[in-house]
Amino acid sequence: MSFSNDKPSSVLVTRPAHQSGNFIKQLEDEGFKVVKLPSIEIEFESHDLTETLQSDLIIFTSANAVTGANKILQFPWDCKAKIAAIGKATANALEQLNSQVDIVPHTGASSEALLDTLLDTPEQLANLTVTIVRGDSGRNKLFNTLLDRGVKPRYQSVYLRKFPQYSIAQIESVFSDGLPDIISVTSDLGLTNLLAIVPIELYPSLLSRPLVVNSARCAQLAKDKGFSAEILVADSPGDESQLTKILSLR
């Protein structure tokens, strides 16, 4: 597609509102107009962490999981467990709260990447009790693979992913100047929700916009949903990698 003035000047940011501030500032510092439309609403929960703290290994699957756990019990935690992060962004979130981080994938940020690291020494995993700290739903790849390897995994939910409610007037206000030139999405659910939020009459414009996502899985989902322009996959989750890919579209 072609952009006005031959280069993109606006970005649709769909990440949850509480996570978007720094990213929006970076985009604005680069001269982009930012249009905010969170496609996921995060609601943090409060649960008993007693069983989690008794685990041998605690795995955090996202920065939201770190934030939610810290709201229940502030880090650093006084426990015997080793702490694993699904990727560098999650590890950074833990370290910023003064938590230890014992295990991070060698490369990447996904269940597969963390499993590759954990399964380097499978004999050390057998019979461990493992807690996976996450939202109320998500992929089960990590849980199922650990279970198959003789591990005793369990989930600890610390937040809910909710579909945001927008009025017709709010949506009309967001797109009053038309659709932004580039769309930034950080998860499969965020993309699916975006398609449910945007009025169907805007689909031709939406599906023709370049998309920046955080995983090859999300890129494939976008193709399956009909996105026809360039789809760029950030090298890793986090503001900097998404910003780099957006700047490459200039």
Domain boundary (103, 137, 161) is at: 161
CATH number of the domain encompassing residue 58: 3.40.50.10090
What pLDDT sits at residue 110? 84
* Confidence at 1, pLDDT banded by 50, 70, 90: very low
- Give the domain extent around 107: 43-161
- Predicted local confidence at residue 138, as pLDDT: 83
Mean pLDDT within 64-70: 97
Domain final position from 131, 161, 191: 161
Please give the model's pTM, rounded to 2 decimal places. Answer: 0.86
Based on the structure, what is the number of domains in the chain?
Answer: 2
119-159 tens-digit pLDDT: 876 667 878 899 999 999 888 999 999 998 888 899 999 99
pLDDT for 230 beyond 50 = yes
pLDDT tens for each residue of 175-209: 999 999 999 999 999 999 999 999 999 999 999 99
Residues 5-27 have pLDDT tens digits of 568 899 999 999 999 999 999 99
Say which range, 48-52, 93-97, 140-144, 236-240, has the weakest mean pLDDT.
236-240
User: What one-character DSSP code corresponds to residue 176?
Assistant: T
Is residue 36 domain-shared with residue 47, that is, in the same domain? Answer: no
Q: CA 17: distance to chain centroid?
A: 13
More confident residue, 29 or 138: 29
